[in-house]
């Protein structure tokens, strides 16, 4: 499965291939029961068409900087469709590629009567798949899934949820560095980190263009949410962090380039057709396409809509006022509701009103967290329930950095916060307690029938585990099982030394940390404690969540090189956990 190497035009600002009208994608993104969206990046202004059977759907490209993009909405599909599709650019078939060794890509829509099978994972560096890179980064679990699906060794998930760090803007591969060095002086800031939108475009191309993953993403629906590395390690950790980085000359271009490219490459594919129509920026794409369709045929060649100013204006506003735009979204999957929460850009950092979620975001989340569904899934890049020892440590650090023990210690607390990444929900205690109260309200049956489980799905921490809220919640009236399932990394293993500490935070250090936290009246004691019941595991992996009536079975799957065949890893099972829901 070695396709020809792409041809690059060195003059292209984004360093993208020029030998095909299709640059990146197609990616099958949103799926409902009767509709699907397909995203693509093209080389030129063009019309992108999806055909399946005797149906076809088209969208003209829009432009952001030097990139041309289209999101085609395929609607009117039968419930639970599973049909082959093709992609055309200006009438020319570009996908599947003529000599593709992969199965034909398919449009797969949901069937709410079928038990949900949801894959999820996070943290994936974009490195090659040879022996050298596998030795350094481990095997790419996503690509291993692709190969297993090609071989027919694996059941198809309905949807893949990518829960953060889809790209690493601050930790670049040799390929990315070569591209950066071809454009600018890497001795000047931000060095080998991503500088702007154009470099992000190249980064996304590297992340999603290797043949097996590209095929997988063209035929497996996906939803996504950013985490810090999509922008930068520790993004929005604290007000001090925010102030420090805003004093650099390079940060502004990086942030707006990162958020603008996130909107284009990740966010719009999360939205259902009606949400696209309601989106203040995407509505312009639809209006432009409608005017084109309604006009005389000569209008079909009219200028491409240039969204650059609109998208960059949006992200400038988002940077100053996070509440003006919502990156979070919700998907109804039949037996499950999946609510995906932005735990990075919606943060309020001002020390006097520090919160994980701004007011609007918190109100929106409150409205989404309801019962009358078998399983309520809450996707948040950062684990809501950390290993208890780490939770206590972050809570202690938050009150210390806020000045509870005086200014000298506050500076030490801030330093530790930034160096050791103490910036999860535990380090934003007000938001943590508010969301826990919402969840308890759902679990008590105050918002419709109590779900069998309320399950947080997360990544970020480079280890995987399951944590259960203890019986204390039931004693306070909770009827749902409340649980945290973490899957991280898809490909970016944790250094050995840190694994010992992380295991301690889940086990041996729990009691000492709790004793330390309890000694201080200022450190809040969680009202409903939890324990890590399974894990941690440190393998590169993705997870599969299978609904089985009131229960969930979660299986973590990794990849293993056998017989020195680095290009064709085998799928392995890292762990399997049955989460018993309430009956
Ligand atoms: Fe992260």
Per-residue pLDDT, 326: 96
- Ligand 1 centroid to residue 155 C-alpha, Å: 29
Residue-level pLDDT at 297: 63
Whether 6 shows a pLDDT value over 90: the answer reads no
> Is 517 within the bounds of a domain?
yes
Whether 490 maps to a domain, the answer reads: yes
* Residue 405: per-residue pLDDT: 74
Query: Residue 521's pLDDT is what?
Result: 63
Give the mean pLDDT of the chain: 91
Domain hosting 331: range is 22-579
Least confident of 242-246, 269-273, 301-305, 365-369: 301-305
Distance 434 CA to ligand 1 centre (A): 22
We report the CATH number of the domain holding residue 302 as 3.60.21.70
DSSP one-letter string for 467-498: EEE-HHHHHTT--SEEEEEE---SB-PPPHHH
Tell me, in angstroms, the distance from the centre of ligand 1 to residue 237's CA: 11
Give DSSP secondary structure letters for 332-367: E-SSEEEEEE-SSTT-B--GGG-BSS-HHHHHHHHH
- Tell me how far the alpha carbon of residue 21 lies from the centroid of ligand 1, in angstroms: 34
Cα of 459 vs centre of ligand 1, distance in Å, is 7
How far, in Å, is the centroid of ligand 1 from the Cα of 299? 45
The phi-psi region of residue 138 (left if phi > 0; otherwise alpha if psi is between -120 and 50; otherwise beta) is: left
pLDDT at 374: 98
At residue 1 the predicted structure's pLDDT band, cuts being 50, 70 and 90, is very low
Calculate ∠ Cα 254-270-79, nearest 5°.
165
Q: How would you class 514 by CB atoms within 10 Å of its CB: exposed for 0-12, middle for 13-18, buried for 19 or more?
A: middle
- Whether the pLDDT of residue 294 is over 90: the answer is no
Expressed in angstroms and rounded, the spacing between residue 461 Cα and the centre of ligand 1 is 7
Rounded Cα distance between 487 and 463, Å, is 7
CA 109 → CA 34, 268, 511, distances in Å? 6, 18, 47
CA of 226 to the centre of ligand 1 (A): 8
Cα(146) to centroid of ligand 1, in Å? 24
pLDDT value at residue 286 = 96
Instruction: Say how many Å lie between the CA of residue 487 and the centre of ligand 1.
Output: 12
The 10s digit of each residue's pLDDT in 40-75 is: 999 999 999 999 999 999 999 999 999 999 999 999
Across-strand partners of 558? 572
- Map tokens 């019962």 to a residue: 371
8 assigned to some structural domain: no
Measure 229 CA to ligand 1 centroid, in angstroms: 6
Report the DSSP beta bridge partners of residue 465: 486
Q: How far is the CA of 329 from the centre of ligand 1 (A)?
A: 19
Q: How confident is the model at residue 270 (pLDDT cuts 50, 70, 90)?
A: very high
pLDDT confidence tier of residue 266, bands split at 50, 70 and 90: very high
pLDDT of residue 311: 98
Q: What residues are paired with 69 via a beta bridge?
A: 41, 62
552 neighbors 579 (Cβ within 8 angstroms): yes
Q: Is the pLDDT of residue 520 over 90?
A: no
Q: Does any domain span residue 94? A: yes
Q: How many domains, the chain? A: 1
CA 405 to CA 397: how far, in whole Å? 11
Q: How many angstroms does the Cα of residue 166 sit away from the middle of ligand 1?
A: 9
- Residue 417: the pLDDT is 66
pLDDT recorded at residue 516: 74
120 falls within a domain: yes
**What is the average per-residue pLDDT within 191-206?**
96
Per-residue b or e along 76-88, where b marks 16 or more CB atoms closer than 10 Å to that residue's CB? ebeeebeeebbbb
129-185 pLDDT tens trace: 999 999 999 999 999 999 999 999 899 999 999 999 999 999 999 999 999 999 999
Phi, psi angle pair for 30, to nearest 5°: -60, 135
- Across 10-24, 80-94, 511-525, least confident range: 511-525
269 C-alpha to ligand 1 centroid (Å):
21
| Cα 235 to ligand 1 centroid, rounded to whole Å | 9
pLDDT of the residue at 257: 97
The average pLDDT across 89-101 equals 95
Question: Considering the domain boundaries, does residue 136 fall inside one?
Answer: yes
In tens, the pLDDT along 368-426 reads 999 999 999 999 999 999 988 888 777 777 777 777 777 777 777 777 766 767 778 88
Q: How confident is the model at residue 2 (pLDDT cuts 50, 70, 90)?
A: very low
Contact 102, 41 (CB under 8 A): no
Structure-token match 């069937």, residue found = 111
Determine the average pLDDT of the residues in 88-109: 96
- 104 within domain boundaries: yes
Of the candidates 282, 268, 259, the one whose C-alpha atom is nearest the C-alpha of residue 196 is 259
Per-residue pLDDT of 475-489, as tens digits, reads 999 999 999 999 999
Q: What's the 462 CA to ligand 1 centre distance in angstroms?
A: 9
Tokens of 393: 């440590």
* 342 occurs within a structural domain: yes
Ligand 1 centroid from CA 98, angstroms: 38
CA of 68 to the centre of ligand 1 (A): 29
Sheet of 542-548, strands arranged across = 222-224, 159-162, 117-121, 542-548, 551-560, 570-579
Token pair of 330, please?
Answer: 């919700």
Q: Is residue 301 over pLDDT 70?
A: no
Decide: residue 479, CB within 10 A, 0-12 exposed, 13-18 middle, 19+ buried. middle
Whole-number Å distance, alpha carbon 228 to ligand 1 midpoint, is 5
Higher pLDDT, 416 or 209: 209
* Residue 298 predicted with pLDDT over 60: no
Tokens 């601050």: give the residue: 170
């Amino acid at each position: 499965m070695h396709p020809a190497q792409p041809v690059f035009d060195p003059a292209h600002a984004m360093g993208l291939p020029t030998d095909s009208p299709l640059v990146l994608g197609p990616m099958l993104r949103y799926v409902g029961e009767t509709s699907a969206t397909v995203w693509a990046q093209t080389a030129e202004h063009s019309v992108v068409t999806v055909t399946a059977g005797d149906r076809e759907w088209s969208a003209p490209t829009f432009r952001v900087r030097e990139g041309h993009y289209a999101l085609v909405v395929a609607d009117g599909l039968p419930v639970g469709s599973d049909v082959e599709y093709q992609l055309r650019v200006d009438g020319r078939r570009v996908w599947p590629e003529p000599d593709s060794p992969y199965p034909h890509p398919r449009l797969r829509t949901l069937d709410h009567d079928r038990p949900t099978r949801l894959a999820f994972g996070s943290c994936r560096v974009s490195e090659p798949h040879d022996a050298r890179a596998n030795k350094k980064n481990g095997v790419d679990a996503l690509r291993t899934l692709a190969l297993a699906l090609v071989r027919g060794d694996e059941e198809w998930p309905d949807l893949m949820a990518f829960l953060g760090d889809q790209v690493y803007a601050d930790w670049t591969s040799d390929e990315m560095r070569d591209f950066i060095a071809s454009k600018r002086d890497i001795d000047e800031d931000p060095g080998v980190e991503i500088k702007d939108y154009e470099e992000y475009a190249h980064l996304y191309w590297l992340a999603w263009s290797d043949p097996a993953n590209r095929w997988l993403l063209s035929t497996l629906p996906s939803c996504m949410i950013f985490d810090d590395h999509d922008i930068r390690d520790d993004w929005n950790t604290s007000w001090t962090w925010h102030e420090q980085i805003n004093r650099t000359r390079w940060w502004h271009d990086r942030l707006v380039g990162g958020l603008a490219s996130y909107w284009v490459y990740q966010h719009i594919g999360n939205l259902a057709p009606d949400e696209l129509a309601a989106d203040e920026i995407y509505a312009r794409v639809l209006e432009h396409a409608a005017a084109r369709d309604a006009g005389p045929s000569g209008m079909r060649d009219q200028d491409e809509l240039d969204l650059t100013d609109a998208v960059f204006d949006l992200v400038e506003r988002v940077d100053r006022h996070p509440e003006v735009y919502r990156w979070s979204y919700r998907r109804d999957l039949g037996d499950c509701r999946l609510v995906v929460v932005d735990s990075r850009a919606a943060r309020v950092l001002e020390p006097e009103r520090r919160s994980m979620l701004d007011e609007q975001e918190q109100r929106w989340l409150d409205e989404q967290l309801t019962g009358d569904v078998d399983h309520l899934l809450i996707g948040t890049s950062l684990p809501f329930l950390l290993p208890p020892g780490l939770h206590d440590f972050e809570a202690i650090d938050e009150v210390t950095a806020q000045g509870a023990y005086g200014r000298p210690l506050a500076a030490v607390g801030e330093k530790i916060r930034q160096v050791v990444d103490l910036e999860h929900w535990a380090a934003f205690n007000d938001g943590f307690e508010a969301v826990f109260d919402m969840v308890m309200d759902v679990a008590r049956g105050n918002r419709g029938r109590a779900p069998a489980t309320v399950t947080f799905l997360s990544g970020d921490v480079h280890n995987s585990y399951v944590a259960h809220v203890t019986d204390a919640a039931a004693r306070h009236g909770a009827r749902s099982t409340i649980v945290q399932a973490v899957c991280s990394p898809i490909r970016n293993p944790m250094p050995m030394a840190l694994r010992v500490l992380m295991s301690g935070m889940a086990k041996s250090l729990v009691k000492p940390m709790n004793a330390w936290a309890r000694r201080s009246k200022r450190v809040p004691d969680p009202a409903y404690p939890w324990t890590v019941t399974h894990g941690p595991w440190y393998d590169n992996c993705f997870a599969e969540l299978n609904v089985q009536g009131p229960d969930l079975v979660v299986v973590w799957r990794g990849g293993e090189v056998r017989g020195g065949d680095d290009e064709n890893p085998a799928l392995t099972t890292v762990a399997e956990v049955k989460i018993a829901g309430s009956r």
